[in-house]
Amino acid sequence: MRGGAAASSIRGGGVGVVPEGFVRALDGFEAVLAAVPADRWLSPSPCEGWAAVDVAGHVTAGLLVIELRAAGRPLPQDDPDWREVAGADPVASWRAVRARMAAALTPEALDRTVPLAFGPATMREWLEGYPLELLVHTWDLARATGQVVAPDADLVRSALATAERMARRVREAGMVGAEVGVADGAGDLARLLALFGRDPSV
């Protein structure tokens, strides 16, 4: 969910405006993506079987889905190859897709109702909850590439509330692994990661 200045120029939270939390989460992912050392793209990530480049391609592909939904176009039947999406320069690929996605998020597009896995919602409502996806994969990418990340606390708190509502359903659908136990008093980020099958202590 990125696009550099193009997406950053559409901040806000009112009607007809891209949700600010979504843009902030995009910025957080892009900061980690842009800092990946050139020799770490094939480093294993916390997502089993995925390297850093796969995480980058997966999240970039998510923006392609947003772009298609915003334009009212059909989605491909099959998931793409994440490494093909990331391309030879994952940062450049992300920024190009983010810019196109940002251009597609017009006020009319944000009001459009779209079918989602757990029921229909407007594009705006969908994007308000999308930081959950971005925050978890930002952590994945940071861990894969030797970076330390401290996500926006407000975004994490909101994402945790969303995760607590939907974790059981996405786990039953096979979209995430089993919940990981965390210590009493664990912070919001650790609890969020654990709900989605990540061990925050690793």
Phi, psi of 44, deg, nearest 5: -65, 145
Q: What is the pLDDT of residues 130-175, one digit of tens each?
A: 999 999 999 999 999 999 999 999 999 999 888 887 766 665 655 5
Q: Cα–Cα distance between 86 and 184 in angstroms, integer? A: 38
pLDDT score for 5? 31
Q: What is the pLDDT of residues 127-136, one digit of tens each?
A: 999 999 999 9
DSSP 3-state percent helix, strand, coil across the chain (nearest 5) = 55, 5, 40
40-49, 62-71, 145-154, 174-183: least confidently modelled range: 174-183
The DSSP element (H or E) to which 35 belongs, if any, is none
pLDDT score for 30? 98
Confirm if 63 and 98 have CB atoms less than 8 A apart: yes
The model scores a pTM over 0.75: yes
Of all residues in the chain, the percent with pLDDT exceeding 90 is: 64
Task: Tell me the three state secondary structure of residue 51.
Answer: strand
Q: Look up residue 144 and give its amino acid.
A: A
Q: Cα–Cα distance between 30 and 20 in angstroms, integer? A: 15
